[in-house]
Structure 1
Amino acid sequence: MTSLFADADDQTIPLHIIDEDSLEAWLGDQSQTVQAWVRANGFAARIGQALLVPSDTGLPVMALAGFGTAKSRARGRFHLAAAASKLPAACYAIASGLPQAQSDMEVLGWLLAAYRFGRYSETGAMGARLARPEGLDTARLEILAQAETLTRDLINTPANDMGPPDLEAAAQDLAQQHGASIEVVLGDDLLAQDFPLIHTVGRAADRAPRLIDMKWGDRGPKITLVGKGVCFDTGGLNLKPGASMGLMKKDMGGAANVLGLAHMIMALQPRISLRVLIPAVENSVAGNAFRPGDILPSRKGLSVEINNTDAEGRLVLADALAYAQEDAPDLIISMATLTGAARVAVGPDLAPYYCDDPDFVTALENAATHQCDPVWRMPFHTPYESMIEPGIADLDNAPKGGFAGSITAALFLRRFVDESVYAHFDVYGWNPSDAPGRPKGGAGQATRALLGVIEAMQTS
């Protein structure tokens, strides 16, 4: 795979990273010519500022990147990436000013800023490339960036080219890359093998529903990732309005996230046993689409009343979670673009999650801080269990009233996991606007934080 860093023999320009409080001291050590140039160009070391400093002959002798203040840095992440995107095309080598404690994430941000989605049109590459900084595990950082690229590409690809067969092909490619095994239950075989909810949600689409089952590793803790793979969601017979349907190519963002996380795990090879389950479907409208008011069976044996066909993600996840639990893994993680309620609660930047295991919560929160991968814990609020119990069936897929939509969805999913430690992530999977290291479009969320938790679980 092509390196994300500059080639070792490339000529580099020294890059000095300067925060606002250190600028005057740094300038005091420079020549009067450099001082005059920096001041004349208005470089104040603010986040996102970048400046080339020329020699007397006009050739660049150094570059400067603003690092702001502690207060301004607290309002975002990947601050070096903000300057990298503004530097002219060249190769740069960090010469000074990068805090050791933040160096790995700042360098990762630079790599993430170079992402371009160029499948359908020419996109200009970011010209500024970075030499491998000494003292960092740059191979690991490349793996993290490659995983994010995989996730972004999958989400950004429209549904005409990212239906269930295409999502399966992406999983097959990843399995082949890492020597994992993969099995797929397809179409009516879902009924024969007792996955009735996955089949019901996907049966109205021209492209058959399927359950993708990938396995890697045979030692250490057993960890199962379950990702929602709704490749397009019309809402079914409870048809979404046009404005709400426009981004539904990203409704397979949970699957894209678990595939990105799986790439990290398999490339870094911690001592764990990994399983990835992806129910891949399209929620379409046709004569055989499931209906509001239907009562459906599930793999676990619980009956589900359908009060809104647009609450389909929890249905396909339910069968996959029940199947995951049958293998008694140590940890089950589900990731899904599940509810609008989660976006209302925490916005697009935070990944809300549900888990009652204190060891998992502590490990995740610590990893999220270090990995610049923010998460926010939400409650499995048991008193709300009655809201998902309609009386006519065991469970209700869309409780009326509109309250606590993300919590009730999480409680619904928890009914299908009995003994394993369970964590559910209700992610958005999308950056609505450009930010340093995070361009507008598909996005991975919580995966680097989860990697930290999983690596801490490994055993010899």
Structure 2
Amino acid sequence: MPLRFAAPGTPSLPLHLIASDDLETAFSRLDAGQLAWARAQGFKAAAGTVCVLPGANGIAGVLAGLGSAKERRRERFTLGGIRGKLPAGTYHLDTELTGEALEEQVLGWLLSGYIFDKYAKKSAPEAMLLAPDGVDAARFEAIAAGEVLTRDLINTPANDMGPAELEAAVRELAAAHRAEVSVVTGEALLDENFPMIHAVGRASPRAPRLMDLRWGHAGPTLTLVGKGVCFDTGGLNLKPGASMGLMKKDMGGAATVLGLAKMIMALDLPLQLRVLIPAVENAVGGSAFRPQDILTSRKGLTVEINNTDAEGRLVLADALALADETPADLLISMATLTGAARVAVGPDLAPYFATEPSDAASLAAAGTKVADPVWQLPYWEPYEAMIEPGIADLDNAPSGGMAGAITAALFLRRFVTATPRYMHFDIYGWNPSAKPARPKGGAGQGARAILEALPTLLKL
């Protein structure tokens, strides 16, 4: 299995990880024949380069370049990019790396085994790795499996990943970990007081729904809320074609919290987990909600609709209101919410907002530790007036185009009044180009940082 380590005791070849600024020291450990071969091949340990060492019975080992310290700061998971260049076989690492640096490379190796082959046959890497001493193999395999779930859900096109299919994925995950799931679907959303989820999804023949997964019976409480807009046309404020092309990924928040939930449950963390996913398709039709409509939310706040393409915050608002009725020790929402966030920080960073400065600091430290970069944006109080239209309590799309990620976060925070510790992520959920261990396509962002921070955040 490419997303698992090789079985302990499997015969293996040495894989020498060499930094370019440590090249001569590494060369001094080779025998004369191997040294001559490496020099003849021009191996200089540039990032991602490989030199196969010949031996009496074929391959004696492989030299793999990690590049310079500057290159390693600029690019994560170098070993992930090396894996596909190796001859088939099982390897063990020969490296001076320890701690976080070693763990980053090992995770990169595992994640590089990911392929999305649901619609076209693809070959997985054939090289396998023995888990290095000191690396918790089961933990890293669980983390990789959670990331795989996120990527698969995002990569699946909307014709095969609508609200019903997303519900099926939630139920499958719950069954695997003995979690409980309840779902409110279609017109029942009105009966159960989820009016904005219903309004956004009512124009589609694929019924909107709210999924509620619960796991664990002891320990601190954690609630995750993920935006599950399975496709976003923009509604009556129809997106141009260029902007609609990637909208299968608009359920990336839901996919990411499900990946994180899978990690938490697989690792059997001592907490009580709740996952809420409002799943809709924002379609164009005669029953679609309209610009200038005023919707009344579950919270009782009224919302003037000034753009039907700002629908994600509407479905999240009802789900957050439900979460806030039973306050958790920590509440986190994740969504592919605004283009403004991508303009601000690009596709690599996961911007987040936090009501507690200490939580923000813990998350930032955790993201650095596990090579899952996050970046804090502010709940900037002076912008509160921008989301108040006058005719209703809130405006879902303030005019002017300024501070879009911040005003969206402020909007969501209005629905969290009883829960003191709330964090919101405005992620991209997509790699626009292939990088080591991160193929082009769906991507989890922030989940590993949260997982790493949970012991501090929840005092586990």
Aligned equivalent of 1:307: 306
Aligned equivalent of 1:177: 176
Kindly indicate whether the alpha-carbon contact (under 8 Å) linking 1:220 and 1:459 is maintained by their aligned counterparts in 2. Answer: no
**Corresponding residue SS for 1:29:** coil
Kindly indicate whether the alpha-carbon contact (under 8 Å) linking 1:233 and 1:282 is maintained by their aligned counterparts in 2. Answer: yes
Residue identity opposite 1:30 in structure 2: L
Residue identity opposite 2:115 in structure 1: R
**Corresponding residue SS for 1:67:** strand
Aligned equivalent of 2:434: 434
CA distance in 2, matches of 1:143, 1:193: 36
CA distance in 1, matches of 2:168, 2:339: 29
Shift of 1:30: 2.1
Aligned equivalent of 1:451: 451
Higher mean C-alpha deviation, range 398-407 or range 17-26: 17-26
Change beyond 3 A, Cα 1:20–1:183: same
Normalising to structure 1: TM-score of the pair?
0.97
Aligned equivalent of 1:372: 371
Shift of 1:56: 4.4
CA distance in 1, matches of 2:271, 2:285: 43
Matched, 1:247 2:249: no
Residue identity opposite 1:95 in structure 2: D
Shift of 1:459: 5.5
Matched, 1:102 2:101: yes
Residue identity opposite 1:166 in structure 2: E
CA distance in 2, matches of 1:426, 1:345: 11
**Corresponding residue SS for 2:398:** coil
Residue identity opposite 1:236 in structure 2: G
Residue identity opposite 2:436 in structure 1: P
Deviation readout 1:114-167 (Å, 9 max, x if unpaired) = 100011110111122111212210100000000000000000000011000000
Aligned equivalent of 1:289: 288
CA distance in 2, matches of 1:457, 1:31: 50
CA distance in 1, matches of 2:306, 2:383: 17
**Corresponding residue SS for 2:255:** helix
Task: Figure out how many residues of one structure are paired with residues of the other and give that number.
Answer: 459
Residue identity opposite 1:19 in structure 2: A
Aligned equivalent of 1:405: 404
Aligned equivalent of 1:391: 390
Matches within 5 A, 1:211-230: 211-230=210-229
Structure 1 gaps, min length 5: none
Higher mean C-alpha deviation, range 432-441 or range 276-285: 432-441
Matches within 5 A, 1:76-155: 76-155=75-154
Change beyond 3 A, Cα 1:312–1:172: same
Shift of 1:191: 0.1
CA distance in 1, matches of 2:374, 2:458: 22
Deviation readout 1:21-62 (Å, 9 max, x if unpaired) = 2211222232222112111212111110112100145x0001
Kindly indicate whether the alpha-carbon contact (under 8 Å) linking 1:16 and 1:97 is maintained by their aligned counterparts in 2. Answer: no
Kindly indicate whether the alpha-carbon contact (under 8 Å) linking 1:272 and 1:459 is maintained by their aligned counterparts in 2. Answer: no
Shift of 1:282: 0.1
CA distance in 1, matches of 2:119, 2:53: 37
Deviation readout 1:258-316 (Å, 9 max, x if unpaired) = 00000111111222111000000000001000001100110000000000000000000
Aligned equivalent of 1:422: 422
Aligned equivalent of 2:204: 205
Shift of 1:9: 5.0
Matched, 1:35 2:21: no
Kindly indicate whether the alpha-carbon contact (under 8 Å) linking 2:227 and 2:334 is maintained by their aligned counterparts in 1. Answer: yes
Kindly indicate whether the alpha-carbon contact (under 8 Å) linking 1:430 and 1:441 is maintained by their aligned counterparts in 2. Answer: yes
Kindly indicate whether the alpha-carbon contact (under 8 Å) linking 1:231 and 1:251 is maintained by their aligned counterparts in 2. Answer: yes
Residue identity opposite 1:272 in structure 2: L
Structure 2 gaps, min length 5: none
Residue identity opposite 1:20 in structure 2: S
CA distance in 2, matches of 1:417, 1:237: 29
Matches within 5 A, 1:247-286: 247-286=246-285
Aligned equivalent of 2:8: 8
CA distance in 1, matches of 2:445, 2:76: 14
Matches within 5 A, 1:342-353: 342-353=341-352
Aligned equivalent of 1:382: 381
Deviation readout 1:158-202 (Å, 9 max, x if unpaired) = 001100000000000111111110000000000000000000000
The root-mean-square deviation of aligned C-alpha atoms, in Å, is: 1.3
CA distance in 1, matches of 2:271, 2:22: 45
CA distance in 1, matches of 2:175, 2:293: 40
Shift of 1:83: 1.6
Kindly indicate whether the alpha-carbon contact (under 8 Å) linking 1:302 and 1:395 is maintained by their aligned counterparts in 2. Answer: yes
CA distance in 1, matches of 2:273, 2:311: 26
Aligned equivalent of 2:25: 25
**Corresponding residue SS for 2:361:** helix
CA distance in 2, matches of 1:272, 1:29: 48
Kindly indicate whether the alpha-carbon contact (under 8 Å) linking 1:270 and 1:458 is maintained by their aligned counterparts in 2. Answer: no
Shift of 1:218: 1.8
